[in-house]
Amino acid sequence: MNDIVVAGGGPAGAAASCLLARAGRRVVVVERETAPAHRMCGEFLAGAGLDRLAELGIDMAALGARPITRMRLVRGGRATEAALPFPALSLSRRALDAALLERAEQAGAKVLRGHAIRAVGDGVLHIDGHGELAAPTLLLATGKHDVRGVRREAGEPADLIGFKTHLRLVAPEAAALEGFVELILFRDGYAGLQMIEGGEANLCLLVDRTRFLRDGGTWEGLVAGLVDECAHLGRRLAGAEAWPRPLAIARVPYGYVHQGVSAGVFRLGDQMAVIPSFTGGGMTIALHSGALAARCLIEGGGADDYARAIRRAVRRPVRLAGALYRAGRANWLQGPIIRMASWWPGGVSGLAAMTRVG
Ligand SMILES: Cc1cc2nc3c(=O)[nH]c(=O)nc-3n(C[C@H](O)[C@H](O)[C@H](O)COP(=O)(O)OP(=O)(O)OC[C@H]3O[C@@H](n4cnc5c(N)ncnc54)[C@H](O)[C@@H]3O)c2cc1C
Protein backbone atom coordinates (compact mmCIF):
# COMPACT_ATOMS: atom_id res chain seq x y z
CA MET A 1 0.00 0.00 0.00
CA ASN A 2 1.50 3.35 -1.04
CA ASP A 3 0.76 6.50 0.90
CA ILE A 4 0.71 8.65 -2.21
CA VAL A 5 0.33 7.99 -5.93
CA VAL A 6 1.68 10.54 -8.39
CA ALA A 7 0.20 10.47 -11.89
CA GLY A 8 2.87 11.74 -14.32
CA GLY A 9 6.62 12.10 -13.83
CA GLY A 10 7.19 15.54 -15.43
CA PRO A 11 8.62 18.49 -13.43
CA ALA A 12 5.54 18.80 -11.18
CA GLY A 13 5.17 15.10 -10.37
CA ALA A 14 8.90 14.45 -9.99
CA ALA A 15 9.42 17.47 -7.69
CA ALA A 16 6.57 16.47 -5.37
CA SER A 17 7.65 12.80 -5.34
CA CYS A 18 11.22 13.66 -4.47
CA LEU A 19 10.24 15.92 -1.55
CA LEU A 20 7.66 13.47 -0.21
CA ALA A 21 10.00 10.47 -0.47
CA ARG A 22 12.70 12.48 1.33
CA ALA A 23 10.21 13.10 4.13
CA GLY A 24 9.77 9.33 4.46
CA ARG A 25 6.43 8.96 2.63
CA ARG A 26 5.83 5.91 0.44
CA VAL A 27 5.37 7.29 -3.05
CA VAL A 28 4.74 5.63 -6.39
CA VAL A 29 4.98 7.61 -9.62
CA VAL A 30 3.18 6.31 -12.73
CA GLU A 31 4.81 7.66 -15.92
CA ARG A 32 3.67 6.60 -19.37
CA GLU A 33 7.01 7.13 -21.15
CA THR A 34 9.53 4.31 -20.91
CA ALA A 35 12.53 6.63 -21.41
CA PRO A 36 13.35 10.38 -21.31
CA ALA A 37 11.62 12.10 -24.23
CA HIS A 38 11.60 15.49 -25.93
CA ARG A 39 8.71 17.73 -24.79
CA MET A 40 6.86 20.65 -26.29
CA CYS A 41 8.58 23.47 -24.39
CA GLY A 42 10.72 26.56 -24.93
CA GLU A 43 13.13 25.11 -22.30
CA PHE A 44 13.61 28.48 -20.56
CA LEU A 45 13.83 28.38 -16.76
CA ALA A 46 14.07 31.36 -14.43
CA GLY A 47 13.71 32.82 -10.97
CA ALA A 48 11.98 30.69 -8.38
CA GLY A 49 12.01 27.69 -10.74
CA LEU A 50 15.80 27.64 -10.40
CA ASP A 51 15.52 27.88 -6.59
CA ARG A 52 13.15 24.90 -6.56
CA LEU A 53 15.59 22.89 -8.71
CA ALA A 54 18.49 23.74 -6.38
CA GLU A 55 16.41 22.58 -3.39
CA LEU A 56 15.87 19.29 -5.19
CA GLY A 57 19.64 18.96 -5.65
CA ILE A 58 19.61 19.39 -9.44
CA ASP A 59 22.98 20.71 -10.62
CA MET A 60 21.95 22.62 -13.75
CA ALA A 61 25.52 23.61 -14.66
CA ALA A 62 26.63 19.97 -14.55
CA LEU A 63 23.75 19.09 -16.92
CA GLY A 64 25.07 21.69 -19.38
CA ALA A 65 22.42 24.41 -18.87
CA ARG A 66 23.20 27.69 -20.69
CA PRO A 67 22.94 30.99 -18.77
CA ILE A 68 20.59 33.62 -20.20
CA THR A 69 20.91 37.22 -19.05
CA ARG A 70 19.14 39.26 -21.74
CA MET A 71 15.96 39.26 -23.79
CA ARG A 72 15.75 40.37 -27.41
CA LEU A 73 12.33 41.36 -28.73
CA VAL A 74 12.16 41.15 -32.52
CA ARG A 75 9.65 42.01 -35.25
CA GLY A 76 10.53 41.94 -38.95
CA GLY A 77 14.02 43.43 -39.20
CA ARG A 78 13.73 45.44 -35.97
CA ALA A 79 15.11 44.24 -32.61
CA THR A 80 15.31 45.71 -29.14
CA GLU A 81 17.05 44.34 -26.05
CA ALA A 82 16.49 44.40 -22.28
CA ALA A 83 18.24 42.82 -19.30
CA LEU A 84 16.35 39.98 -17.62
CA PRO A 85 15.41 41.00 -14.06
CA PHE A 86 16.00 37.44 -12.76
CA PRO A 87 18.59 34.69 -13.30
CA ALA A 88 17.67 32.34 -16.13
CA LEU A 89 18.97 29.15 -17.72
CA SER A 90 18.05 26.93 -20.63
CA LEU A 91 18.26 23.18 -20.71
CA SER A 92 16.50 20.57 -22.84
CA ARG A 93 13.47 18.97 -21.25
CA ARG A 94 14.84 15.56 -22.09
CA ALA A 95 17.83 16.20 -19.81
CA LEU A 96 15.88 18.05 -17.11
CA ASP A 97 12.96 15.61 -16.80
CA ALA A 98 15.36 12.65 -16.67
CA ALA A 99 17.41 14.29 -13.89
CA LEU A 100 14.30 15.14 -11.86
CA LEU A 101 12.82 11.66 -12.03
CA GLU A 102 16.17 10.14 -11.17
CA ARG A 103 16.29 12.41 -8.09
CA ALA A 104 12.85 11.19 -7.02
CA GLU A 105 13.99 7.58 -7.35
CA GLN A 106 17.19 8.27 -5.40
CA ALA A 107 15.05 9.76 -2.63
CA GLY A 108 13.09 6.50 -2.46
CA ALA A 109 10.08 7.01 -4.75
CA LYS A 110 9.08 4.00 -6.81
CA VAL A 111 8.69 4.86 -10.51
CA LEU A 112 6.48 2.73 -12.76
CA ARG A 113 7.69 3.65 -16.26
CA GLY A 114 5.90 2.81 -19.48
CA HIS A 115 2.42 2.64 -17.94
CA ALA A 116 -0.33 5.07 -18.94
CA ILE A 117 -3.18 5.81 -16.56
CA ARG A 118 -6.43 5.34 -18.46
CA ALA A 119 -8.95 6.44 -15.84
CA VAL A 120 -9.42 7.37 -12.20
CA GLY A 121 -12.54 6.50 -10.20
CA ASP A 122 -13.37 6.12 -6.50
CA GLY A 123 -9.74 6.49 -5.44
CA VAL A 124 -8.52 3.81 -7.84
CA LEU A 125 -6.26 4.26 -10.88
CA HIS A 126 -6.78 2.07 -13.94
CA ILE A 127 -3.37 1.60 -15.48
CA ASP A 128 -2.43 0.07 -18.84
CA GLY A 129 -0.53 -3.18 -18.36
CA HIS A 130 -0.66 -2.91 -14.59
CA GLY A 131 -4.30 -3.29 -13.56
CA GLU A 132 -5.61 -1.20 -10.70
CA LEU A 133 -3.82 0.85 -8.06
CA ALA A 134 -5.48 2.28 -4.94
CA ALA A 135 -4.74 6.01 -4.62
CA PRO A 136 -6.32 7.44 -1.46
CA THR A 137 -4.07 10.47 -2.06
CA LEU A 138 -3.53 11.28 -5.73
CA LEU A 139 -1.18 13.92 -7.10
CA LEU A 140 -2.44 14.56 -10.61
CA ALA A 141 0.52 15.77 -12.67
CA THR A 142 -0.22 14.58 -16.20
CA GLY A 143 0.40 18.03 -17.73
CA LYS A 144 -1.94 18.95 -20.56
CA HIS A 145 -3.20 15.38 -20.82
CA ASP A 146 -6.50 14.85 -19.08
CA VAL A 147 -7.38 11.53 -17.50
CA ARG A 148 -10.90 10.10 -17.67
CA GLY A 149 -12.75 10.59 -14.37
CA VAL A 150 -10.70 13.67 -13.33
CA ARG A 151 -10.74 15.87 -16.44
CA ARG A 152 -10.22 19.65 -16.18
CA GLU A 153 -12.98 21.96 -17.39
CA ALA A 154 -10.70 24.07 -19.54
CA GLY A 155 -13.40 25.63 -21.76
CA GLU A 156 -12.69 26.42 -25.40
CA PRO A 157 -8.93 26.96 -25.89
CA ALA A 158 -7.52 29.44 -28.46
CA ASP A 159 -7.10 28.00 -31.94
CA LEU A 160 -3.30 28.00 -31.88
CA ILE A 161 -0.80 25.40 -32.97
CA GLY A 162 2.57 25.05 -31.24
CA PHE A 163 5.75 23.69 -32.84
CA LYS A 164 9.17 22.91 -31.45
CA THR A 165 12.44 21.78 -32.96
CA HIS A 166 16.06 21.74 -31.92
CA LEU A 167 18.48 23.35 -34.35
CA ARG A 168 22.18 23.39 -35.00
CA LEU A 169 22.77 26.98 -36.10
CA VAL A 170 25.78 28.08 -38.13
CA ALA A 171 28.55 29.32 -35.80
CA PRO A 172 28.09 33.13 -36.13
CA GLU A 173 24.33 32.85 -35.51
CA ALA A 174 24.86 30.60 -32.48
CA ALA A 175 27.39 33.11 -31.13
CA ALA A 176 24.93 36.01 -31.65
CA LEU A 177 22.22 34.10 -29.78
CA GLU A 178 24.38 33.04 -26.82
CA GLY A 179 23.15 34.59 -23.53
CA PHE A 180 19.84 35.78 -25.06
CA VAL A 181 16.29 34.57 -25.18
CA GLU A 182 14.75 35.95 -28.36
CA LEU A 183 11.02 36.58 -28.57
CA ILE A 184 10.16 37.01 -32.23
CA LEU A 185 6.74 38.47 -33.06
CA PHE A 186 5.17 37.77 -36.44
CA ARG A 187 1.73 38.03 -37.99
CA ASP A 188 -0.63 35.76 -35.98
CA GLY A 189 1.98 34.33 -33.65
CA TYR A 190 5.39 34.43 -32.05
CA ALA A 191 8.50 32.32 -31.64
CA GLY A 192 11.03 31.83 -28.84
CA LEU A 193 14.65 31.05 -29.71
CA GLN A 194 17.63 30.37 -27.42
CA MET A 195 20.69 28.20 -27.09
CA ILE A 196 20.47 25.01 -25.02
CA GLU A 197 23.17 22.50 -24.02
CA GLY A 198 25.35 20.69 -26.53
CA GLY A 199 25.68 23.67 -28.91
CA GLU A 200 22.05 23.36 -30.06
CA ALA A 201 19.24 25.91 -30.07
CA ASN A 202 15.55 25.52 -29.26
CA LEU A 203 12.98 27.07 -31.59
CA CYS A 204 9.46 26.99 -30.22
CA LEU A 205 6.60 28.87 -31.83
CA LEU A 206 2.87 29.39 -31.64
CA VAL A 207 0.75 30.33 -34.61
CA ASP A 208 -2.93 30.81 -35.38
CA ARG A 209 -4.37 27.84 -37.22
CA THR A 210 -5.65 30.17 -39.97
CA ARG A 211 -2.11 31.52 -40.59
CA PHE A 212 -0.74 27.96 -40.63
CA LEU A 213 -3.32 26.98 -43.25
CA ARG A 214 -2.59 30.13 -45.31
CA ASP A 215 1.07 29.05 -45.39
CA GLY A 216 0.07 25.72 -46.93
CA GLY A 217 -0.76 23.77 -43.76
CA THR A 218 2.76 22.29 -43.50
CA TRP A 219 5.75 23.00 -41.25
CA GLU A 220 7.93 23.69 -44.30
CA GLY A 221 5.36 26.16 -45.67
CA LEU A 222 5.08 27.91 -42.32
CA VAL A 223 8.86 28.27 -41.92
CA ALA A 224 9.15 29.62 -45.49
CA GLY A 225 6.41 32.18 -44.72
CA LEU A 226 8.08 33.24 -41.46
CA VAL A 227 11.52 33.60 -43.02
CA ASP A 228 9.94 35.74 -45.73
CA GLU A 229 8.25 37.95 -43.15
CA CYS A 230 11.06 38.20 -40.60
CA ALA A 231 14.58 38.94 -41.83
CA HIS A 232 16.01 38.29 -38.37
CA LEU A 233 14.57 34.76 -38.20
CA GLY A 234 15.69 34.18 -41.79
CA ARG A 235 19.28 35.00 -40.80
CA ARG A 236 19.16 32.76 -37.74
CA LEU A 237 17.78 29.79 -39.69
CA ALA A 238 20.02 30.09 -42.77
CA GLY A 239 22.12 26.93 -43.01
CA ALA A 240 20.73 25.52 -39.73
CA GLU A 241 20.06 21.80 -39.30
CA ALA A 242 16.72 20.94 -37.65
CA TRP A 243 14.88 17.78 -36.62
CA PRO A 244 13.26 16.02 -39.59
CA ARG A 245 9.86 16.73 -38.00
CA PRO A 246 9.00 19.21 -35.24
CA LEU A 247 6.91 18.33 -32.19
CA ALA A 248 3.45 19.84 -32.46
CA ILE A 249 0.59 20.64 -30.10
CA ALA A 250 -2.84 22.25 -30.39
CA ARG A 251 -5.63 23.53 -28.18
CA VAL A 252 -3.55 24.69 -25.19
CA PRO A 253 -5.91 26.34 -22.65
CA TYR A 254 -3.78 29.44 -21.87
CA GLY A 255 -4.96 31.35 -18.82
CA TYR A 256 -6.66 28.32 -17.26
CA VAL A 257 -6.69 28.06 -13.46
CA HIS A 258 -8.51 25.05 -12.06
CA GLN A 259 -11.30 26.00 -9.66
CA GLY A 260 -12.84 22.88 -8.07
CA VAL A 261 -11.37 20.64 -5.35
CA SER A 262 -11.95 16.88 -4.99
CA ALA A 263 -11.06 15.22 -1.69
CA GLY A 264 -7.66 13.54 -1.88
CA VAL A 265 -6.81 14.92 -5.36
CA PHE A 266 -3.97 17.47 -5.65
CA ARG A 267 -3.65 19.01 -9.13
CA LEU A 268 -0.10 20.02 -9.95
CA GLY A 269 1.54 21.93 -12.82
CA ASP A 270 -0.49 22.31 -16.00
CA GLN A 271 -3.33 20.37 -14.39
CA MET A 272 -3.70 23.32 -12.03
CA ALA A 273 -2.80 26.37 -14.15
CA VAL A 274 -1.58 27.09 -17.69
CA ILE A 275 0.34 30.35 -18.08
CA PRO A 276 0.94 31.68 -21.63
CA SER A 277 4.19 30.14 -22.79
CA PHE A 278 5.95 33.37 -23.87
CA THR A 279 6.60 33.95 -20.14
CA GLY A 280 8.65 30.73 -19.91
CA GLY A 281 6.94 30.24 -16.56
CA GLY A 282 5.12 26.90 -16.89
CA MET A 283 7.89 24.77 -15.43
CA THR A 284 8.28 27.16 -12.51
CA ILE A 285 4.57 26.76 -11.73
CA ALA A 286 4.98 22.99 -12.06
CA LEU A 287 7.96 22.86 -9.66
CA HIS A 288 6.39 25.33 -7.25
CA SER A 289 3.08 23.44 -7.16
CA GLY A 290 4.95 20.17 -6.55
CA ALA A 291 6.79 21.76 -3.61
CA LEU A 292 3.59 23.29 -2.20
CA ALA A 293 1.65 20.01 -2.42
CA ALA A 294 4.48 18.10 -0.77
CA ARG A 295 4.74 20.65 2.04
CA CYS A 296 0.99 20.58 2.56
CA LEU A 297 0.92 16.77 2.80
CA ILE A 298 3.95 16.64 5.11
CA GLU A 299 2.27 19.17 7.42
CA GLY A 300 -0.99 17.18 7.42
CA GLY A 301 -2.98 19.56 5.19
CA GLY A 302 -5.66 18.53 2.69
CA ALA A 303 -6.30 19.09 -1.01
CA ASP A 304 -8.37 22.20 -0.23
CA ASP A 305 -5.51 23.84 1.73
CA TYR A 306 -3.16 23.15 -1.14
CA ALA A 307 -5.64 24.40 -3.79
CA ARG A 308 -6.05 27.70 -1.93
CA ALA A 309 -2.28 28.20 -1.64
CA ILE A 310 -1.46 27.42 -5.26
CA ARG A 311 -4.32 29.55 -6.63
CA ARG A 312 -3.12 32.46 -4.54
CA ALA A 313 0.37 32.05 -5.99
CA VAL A 314 -0.63 31.78 -9.66
CA ARG A 315 -3.70 33.98 -10.03
CA ARG A 316 -2.02 37.37 -10.63
CA PRO A 317 0.87 36.27 -12.87
CA VAL A 318 -1.48 34.12 -15.01
CA ARG A 319 -3.97 36.98 -15.35
CA LEU A 320 -1.28 39.52 -16.32
CA ALA A 321 0.39 37.10 -18.72
CA GLY A 322 -3.04 36.47 -20.30
CA ALA A 323 -3.56 40.20 -20.90
CA LEU A 324 -0.08 40.60 -22.43
CA TYR A 325 -0.62 37.54 -24.58
CA ARG A 326 -3.89 38.94 -25.95
CA ALA A 327 -2.18 42.27 -26.69
CA GLY A 328 0.70 40.49 -28.50
CA ARG A 329 -1.78 38.51 -30.61
CA ALA A 330 -3.31 41.71 -32.00
CA ASN A 331 -1.15 42.22 -35.10
CA TRP A 332 -1.67 46.02 -35.12
CA LEU A 333 -0.26 46.26 -31.57
CA GLN A 334 3.00 44.45 -32.32
CA GLY A 335 4.69 47.53 -33.86
CA PRO A 336 3.81 49.83 -30.91
CA ILE A 337 4.94 47.08 -28.48
CA ILE A 338 8.38 46.92 -30.09
CA ARG A 339 8.66 50.74 -30.21
CA MET A 340 7.65 51.03 -26.57
CA ALA A 341 10.13 48.29 -25.59
CA SER A 342 12.99 50.15 -27.30
CA TRP A 343 12.11 53.44 -25.53
CA TRP A 344 11.63 51.79 -22.17
CA PRO A 345 13.51 48.49 -21.77
CA GLY A 346 13.10 48.73 -17.97
CA GLY A 347 9.33 48.45 -18.49
CA VAL A 348 9.80 45.18 -20.39
CA SER A 349 11.99 43.79 -17.60
CA GLY A 350 9.42 44.91 -15.00
CA LEU A 351 6.54 43.22 -16.83
CA ALA A 352 8.60 40.05 -17.22
CA ALA A 353 9.21 40.02 -13.45
CA MET A 354 5.49 40.50 -12.72
CA THR A 355 4.55 37.35 -14.67
CA ARG A 356 6.77 35.15 -12.46
CA VAL A 357 5.38 32.77 -9.83
CA GLY A 358 7.06 31.85 -6.55
C1 LIG B 1 4.69 26.02 -26.89
C2 LIG B 1 5.05 25.91 -25.44
C3 LIG B 1 6.24 26.47 -24.97
C4 LIG B 1 6.57 26.42 -23.61
N5 LIG B 1 7.74 26.97 -23.17
C6 LIG B 1 8.06 26.95 -21.86
C7 LIG B 1 9.28 27.50 -21.38
O8 LIG B 1 10.12 27.99 -22.15
N9 LIG B 1 9.52 27.47 -20.04
C10 LIG B 1 8.64 26.94 -19.15
O11 LIG B 1 8.89 26.95 -17.95
N12 LIG B 1 7.49 26.39 -19.58
C13 LIG B 1 7.18 26.37 -20.90
N14 LIG B 1 6.02 25.76 -21.34
C15 LIG B 1 5.12 25.15 -20.35
C16 LIG B 1 5.69 23.85 -19.78
O17 LIG B 1 6.04 23.00 -20.84
C18 LIG B 1 4.64 23.19 -18.88
O19 LIG B 1 4.02 24.13 -18.08
C20 LIG B 1 5.29 22.12 -18.00
O21 LIG B 1 5.82 21.08 -18.78
C22 LIG B 1 4.26 21.55 -17.04
O23 LIG B 1 4.85 20.53 -16.27
P24 LIG B 1 3.95 19.32 -15.71
O25 LIG B 1 4.84 18.50 -14.88
O26 LIG B 1 2.70 19.89 -15.15
O27 LIG B 1 3.49 18.53 -17.03
P28 LIG B 1 4.35 17.79 -18.14
O29 LIG B 1 5.67 18.40 -18.28
O30 LIG B 1 3.47 17.76 -19.36
O31 LIG B 1 4.54 16.34 -17.58
C32 LIG B 1 3.45 15.45 -17.52
C33 LIG B 1 4.00 14.04 -17.40
O34 LIG B 1 2.89 13.15 -17.26
C35 LIG B 1 3.04 12.07 -18.15
N36 LIG B 1 1.69 11.61 -18.49
C37 LIG B 1 0.75 12.27 -19.21
N38 LIG B 1 -0.39 11.58 -19.27
C39 LIG B 1 -0.16 10.44 -18.56
C40 LIG B 1 -0.96 9.32 -18.26
N41 LIG B 1 -2.22 9.20 -18.70
N42 LIG B 1 -0.41 8.32 -17.51
C43 LIG B 1 0.88 8.42 -17.06
N44 LIG B 1 1.67 9.46 -17.33
C45 LIG B 1 1.16 10.46 -18.06
C46 LIG B 1 3.81 12.64 -19.34
O47 LIG B 1 4.47 11.63 -20.07
C48 LIG B 1 4.76 13.61 -18.64
O49 LIG B 1 5.96 12.98 -18.26
C50 LIG B 1 5.69 25.79 -22.70
C51 LIG B 1 4.50 25.21 -23.17
C52 LIG B 1 4.19 25.25 -24.53
C53 LIG B 1 2.91 24.63 -25.00
The pLDDT tens digits of the residues spanning 101-120 come to 999 999 999 999 999 999 99
Best of 30, 32, 111, 128 for a ligand 1 pocket test (most atoms within 8 Å of beta carbon): 32
Give the pLDDT of residue 338.
Answer: 82
What is the residue-wise DSSP string for 253-291? -TT-B-----TTEEE-GGGTB---GGG--HHHHHHHHHH
Give the pLDDT of residue 210.
Answer: 95
303 SS3 class:
helix
**Domains of the chain: which residue ranges?**
4-156+253-354
Give the pLDDT of residue 266.
Answer: 97
Whole-number CA gyration radius for the chain: 20
Please give the distance, rounded to the nearest whole angstrom, from the Cα atom of residue 8 to the centre of ligand 1: 9
How many Cβ atoms sit within 10 Å of the Cβ of residue 260?
Answer: 9
Q: Answer whether 249 contacts ligand 1 (Cβ < 6 A).
A: yes
User: CA–CA distance from 283 to each of 10, 97, 152 (Å)?
Assistant: 9, 11, 19
The helix or strand, by DSSP H or E, that contains position 308, with its residue range, turns out to be helix 303-329
Q: Under 8 Å CB-to-CB from 6, ≥6 apart: which residues? A: 13, 16, 17, 27, 28, 29, 30, 109, 138, 139, 141
Give the pLDDT of residue 344.
Answer: 82
Residue 114's identity, in one-letter code, is G
Rounded CA-CA distance 236/145 in Å is 33
What is the residue-wise DSSP string for 46-82? ETHHHHHHHHTT--HHHHTPEEEEEEEEEETTEEEEE
Give the pLDDT of residue 289.
Answer: 98
Please give the distance, rounded to the nearest whole angstrom, from the Cα atom of residue 93 to the centre of ligand 1: 9
Give the pLDDT of residue 148.
Answer: 96
Q: Answer whether 44 contacts ligand 1 (Cβ < 6 A).
A: yes
Domain spanning 4-156+253-354: which superfamily? FAD/NAD(P)-binding domain (3.50.50.60)
Give the pLDDT of residue 329.
Answer: 78
Rounded CA-CA distance 2/322 in Å is 39
- Angle at the Cα of 356 from the Cα atoms of 350 and 357, rounded to 5 degrees: 150
Torsion of the alpha carbons at 344, 345, 347 and 348, rounded to the nearest 10: 140
- Angle at the Cα of 35 from the Cα atoms of 31 and 39, rounded to 5 degrees: 80
The helix or strand, by DSSP H or E, that contains position 333, with its residue range, turns out to be helix 331-343
Q: Answer whether 162 contacts ligand 1 (Cβ < 6 A).
A: yes
Give the pLDDT of residue 2.
Answer: 61
Rounded CA-CA distance 113/93 in Å is 17
Please give the distance, rounded to the nearest whole angstrom, from the Cα atom of residue 62 to the centre of ligand 1: 23
Q: Answer whether 358 contacts ligand 1 (Cβ < 6 A).
A: no
Please give the distance, rounded to the nearest whole angstrom, from the Cα atom of residue 256 to the centre of ligand 1: 14
How many Cβ atoms sit within 10 Å of the Cβ of residue 102?
Answer: 15
Q: Under 8 Å CB-to-CB from 103, ≥6 apart: which residues? A: 14, 18, 56, 57, 58
Write out residues in the chain with pLDDT < 70, as ranges: 1-2
Rounded CA-CA distance 145/73 in Å is 31
Give the pLDDT of residue 115.
Answer: 96
Please give the distance, rounded to the nearest whole angstrom, from the Cα atom of residue 143 to the centre of ligand 1: 5
